[in-house]
């Protein structure tokens, strides 16, 4: 292997903000935030919106997202191109 071309692989804490779950794993991701873990050591912190702790496939619970107006906005924006009746 060539030296100094690979990213640094180290322990990183991922925080799922929607489920408020944290887990420690190894990653090469870069981050500016840090957190003190349960073992007393400080690790880089990566905040994620969704993980296995909050994804409907793994939890079995469906989250309802507020989509009111999105379809209408799309149809209004592209009405001339896609929704013409033939």
Residue 59 parent element (H or E): helix 56-59
Inside any domain, residue 15: yes
In a domain, 58, yes or no: yes
The token pair at 13 is 């804490």
The total number of structural domains in the chain stands at: 1
pTM for the model stands at 0.63
Q: Specify if 33 maps to a domain.
A: yes
Q: pLDDT tens digits, residue range 17-70?
A: 888 899 999 999 999 999 999 999 999 999 988 887 776 666 667 665 555 667
Q: Supply the pLDDT for residue 63.
A: 60
Q: Does residue 2 belong to any structural domain of this protein?
A: no
Both structure tokens of 68? 């009111």
Do the domain assignments include residue 86?
no
Strand partners, 21: 16
Asked, for residue 20, whether it belongs to a domain, the answer is yes
- Evaluate whether residue 3 is within a structural domain: no
Residue 31 belongs to a domain: yes
Q: Domain range holding 17?
A: 10-81
User: Looking at residue 62, what DSSP letter applies?
Assistant: P
């Amino acid at each position: 292997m060539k030296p100094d071309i690979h990213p640094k692989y180290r322990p990183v804490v991922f925080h799922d903000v929607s489920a408020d779950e944290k887990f420690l794993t190894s990653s090469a991701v870069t981050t500016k935030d840090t957190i003190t873990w349960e073992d007393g050591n400080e690790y880089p912190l990566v905040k994620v919106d969704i993980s296995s702790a909050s994804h409907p496939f793994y939890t079995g619970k469906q989250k309802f997202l507020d989509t009111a107006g999105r379809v209408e906005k799309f149809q209004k924006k592209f009405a001339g191109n896609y929704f013409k009746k033939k």
